Chain A
Amino acid sequence: MPTEATRRPNTLFRNLNAKIASLPMILTALVVFVGGTIWTITYSFTNSRLLPRLNFIGLDQYERLWSTPRWIASIQNLVIYGSLSLIFSLLIGFVLAALLDQKIRFENTFRSIILYPFALSFIVTGLVWQWLLNPDFGVQHLVRTLGWESFTFNPLYDQSIVIYGILIAGLWQGTGLVMCLMLAGLRGIDEDIWKAARVDGIPMWKTYIFIVIPMMRPVFVTTLVIIASGIVRIYDLVVAQTSGGPGHASEVPAKYVYDYMFAAQNLGQGFAASTMMLLTVAIVVVPWAYLEFGGRRRHG
């Protein structure tokens, strides 16, 4: 202990420049990420309305949250959109990556074309697909003018399928990223594996399913976490494409939070809803972070 005390000024000023340089990171990590999260969770137990106030009312906000039809609809939409988006973007992304990995010509061109929507914002994506799915001018109108008079494909004005209209736009924007991640994973597979499988006469599709995909597990896990944490945040796309309508049919949690915090002047509800969002992400991320960072520490 005495040695510790004598050494203390030394360790504090050692690497002083590095510590100064890391000050923004330390502040961000502690004040914004940790502090902000604790703050929001704390105030989600209060009855704050226009201004945050420390007037604790227990779990009332959460009870009200889970009995609000709009929130239930948001969660249902998130589950439908999320699970379908996960499945389809992984599936399409992997198939496209496998196609591009066949030593084809113009690989860069194909990849650029499939990835470019990812450079566009969700607002732009939402507005384009709003136009394409417009019943009077878009796809439905086109098929009808081609002769199929009764053809109906009107997701943006039909409460029961509006979320699929958003899914189409979301997949268009996001599959390119998944494809790129998968392609990087495929390129990381040792050539000898392919050679061995070929020598053994294993058909290509079997090699993919039984050998390559299991080997790409880390890539799949990382991609899954990235897509999943993006899905929970989905906001701009819905705002641009449907504004949550028709009715509340395409509401999502992030929009609920925003509307209650900044439009409905009901901060407590907003905090409770955002805490639920945090919980959803935690269920996905914590096990992954534990495996990823817990396992890596052993290597130093």
Chain B
Amino acid sequence: MADVRTASVGQVEPRIAGHDEAWGPRPRRIFSRRNIVLYGALVIVSLYYLMPLYVMIVTSLKTMPEIRLGNVFAPPVEITFEPWVKAWSTACTGLNCDGLSRGFWNSVRITIPSVIISIAIASVNGYALANWRFKGGNTFFTILIVGAFIPYQVMIYPIVIILREMGVYGTLTGLIIVHTIFGMPINTLLFRNYFSSLPEELFKAARVDGAGFWGIYFRIMLPMSLPIFVVSMIIQVTGIWNDFLFGVVYTKPDTYPMTVQLNNIVNSVQGVKEYNVNMAATILTGLVPLVIYFISGKLFVRGIAAGAVKG
């Protein structure tokens, strides 16, 4: 799309200027004033956005005496990995002193089932909404989408009661149910829009051949919708990994996810503050979503754009 604009602008301009023999895009000087301002601005902005990440990494590699002496932006004189080890295995929250590792594994145990269950439900649901329209289906869907805007605080306590009645309040199972519920609006929307965009003839042909609801889903829709599964997975993994509120409400200290434990480690009032350990812990917690973000690249962007702009 961008090429079209360059090409056509190049064609229009020479004609206005009267150079009929000049074709093709007008060559641009690399160091034009426009480019210097443009790239200069972008580089400065990028540096600003990268600065906290840089400071996190640098701080986590310094020793405490060095932190007390120098400034936060200075690179470490003497690189030490001790803060990382300590953050992972011996940092204290309250009485427990087994570091962030417990929170990490809790988060893994929460994220994997939550992602699988929520995507399975949302994809089947989106498929039903797109291809097997039934009476009332759209009404419930509208409630679901509008419900996504209700502040979580309104529904927190009723869910506590529901989970308590089910006997799963305070357990990982309870938290997984909560993540499935609150991941449903965006993911159902994503899958419904995707399945609606597939040609209907495909569905009709399968129907004529005698395939049923699940047959069409597993044999035709599922293999065709891998990209949207990846997008949905990115949204869910980062969303669930980064969650704090549900973790703190629906789990107990033993099953706290990583974000909650991180906050407890860094913001604990007792003891001397160890900034290097804190920053190592912070990076460790941010590592999973960051890795997913940098691996997925354009799909991540597609996920948030699809979730937001299409409405």
Contact = CB atoms under 8 A, between A and B. Distances in A.
B126 to A, nearest CB: 9
Contacts of B55: 128, 131-132
B73 A124 contact: no
Nearest to A96: B45
B158 A35 contact: yes
A33 B150 contact: yes
Secondary structure of the B contact surface, majority rule: helix
A277 B245 contact: no
A253 B180 CA distance: 25
Given A191-B4, A271-B157, A124 B286 contact: yes
Contact of B52 (A96, A121, A132, A267): A132
Interface in A195-209: 195, 198-199
A25 interface: yes
A293 B9 CA distance: 39
A129 B52 contact: yes
Contacts of A39: 157-158
Contacts, number: 286
Interface of B: 1-2, 4-6, 8-9, 12, 16, 38-39, 41-42, 45-46, 49-53, 55-56, 59, 67-68, 71-73, 121, 124-125, 127-129, 132-135, 137, 140-144, 146-147, 149-159, 161-162, 180-181, 184, 188, 212-214, 238, 241-245, 248-249, 259, 262-263, 266-267, 275, 278-279, 282, 285-286, 289-290, 292-294, 297-298, 300-301, 304-305, 308-309, 311
Given A29-B143, A34-B147, 20 more contacts: A17-B128, A18-B128, A18-B137, A33-B150, A103-B2, A111-B301, A121-B286, A129-B52, A131-B59, A132-B72, A177-B308, A181-B309, A235-B245, A240-B244, A254-B245, A270-B153, A278-B150, A281-B151, A285-B149, A289-B146
18 contacts: A17-B132, A18-B213, A22-B129, A32-B159, A32-B162, A33-B144, A33-B146, A104-B38, A110-B42, A112-B294, A124-B282, A137-B275, A172-B52, A176-B49, A181-B308, A187-B1, A285-B149, A289-B146
